[in-house]
Amino acid sequence: MKNYFKNIIYLAVFAASFSSQAGSYEDFFRAVRSDNASSIQALLNRGFDPNTVDEQGQAGLLIAMREPSPKVIQVLLDSPKTNVEVRNAKDESPLMLAALKGQQDLVTRLIARDADVNKPGWAPLHYAATGGHVAIMKLLLENYAFIDAQSPNGSTPLMMAAMYGSAAAVQLLLDEGADTTMKNQLGMTALDFARRANRPDAVRLLSTAAQANKRPGDGKW
């Protein structure tokens, strides 16, 4: 009989704990989506894991960036328990998404939290170059981003800047020593990217750089 009552008490405590955690789970993602920073802080103070994922496998930080929920982002980044290297289904990190959107303050904060500047595969510099965000590109390069990083298909930041970014982004990468001769898996150089995208400004910059780098006896470039 004594063990029976002990089991009853244990089950009651477990049920109460489960119910509380389930409620916290719902509260957390509701607060993330509504940018309710005070609720997030209260949950973290009670020990809630900021890296908990929702039904789609998305962590709170990525959801907050998608909404966007800037006040929640700040609270999550202030928590040392928050993993700033979470990924979405496309293997994109918070630093990559912030770089693509031109969110320089957020990029600065993520770098300060030791976000991976040289993430394997598609890297933050690819994304910053795609958006033509020169200030963020400079910031990444100052923090030792590899200028000729290759994506899974061999594309470099210079190629992305040439096709999608801006002339200023192309010029920055050229000034910093990006390799104009590299080719992706389709055998395309950054100049090819610029021509395909009908970007005369980028074509001019890359053609001039290629000509300047051409050595006597190299033949056609």
Asked if the peptide bond before residue 68 counts as cis, ω within 30 degrees of 0, the response is yes
Q: So what's the pLDDT on residue 187?
A: 98
**If 0-12 CB within 10 Å is exposed, 13-18 middle and 19+ buried, where does residue 191 land?**
buried
List of residues 6+ apart from 56 with CB closer than 8 A:
none
- Largest Cα span, the chain: 97
How far is the C-alpha of 172 from the C-alpha of 211, rounded, in Å?
18
Helix/strand/coil for 35: coil
pLDDT in tens, 164-197: 999 999 999 999 999 999 999 999 999 999 999 9
How far is the C-alpha of 47 from the C-alpha of 44, rounded, in Å?
5
List of residues 6+ apart from 62 with CB closer than 8 A:
86, 88, 94, 97
pLDDT classification of 202: cutoffs 50, 70, 90: very high
- The pLDDT mean for the chain works out to 90
Is the model's pLDDT at 12 over the cut of 60? no
Q: So what's the pLDDT on residue 122?
A: 98
pLDDT classification of 217: cutoffs 50, 70, 90: low
List of residues 6+ apart from 107 with CB closer than 8 A:
95, 98, 99, 124, 136, 139, 140
Sign of the C-alpha dihedral, residues 83, 84, 85, 86? positive
Q: So what's the pLDDT on residue 71?
A: 98
Q: So what's the pLDDT on residue 212?
A: 85
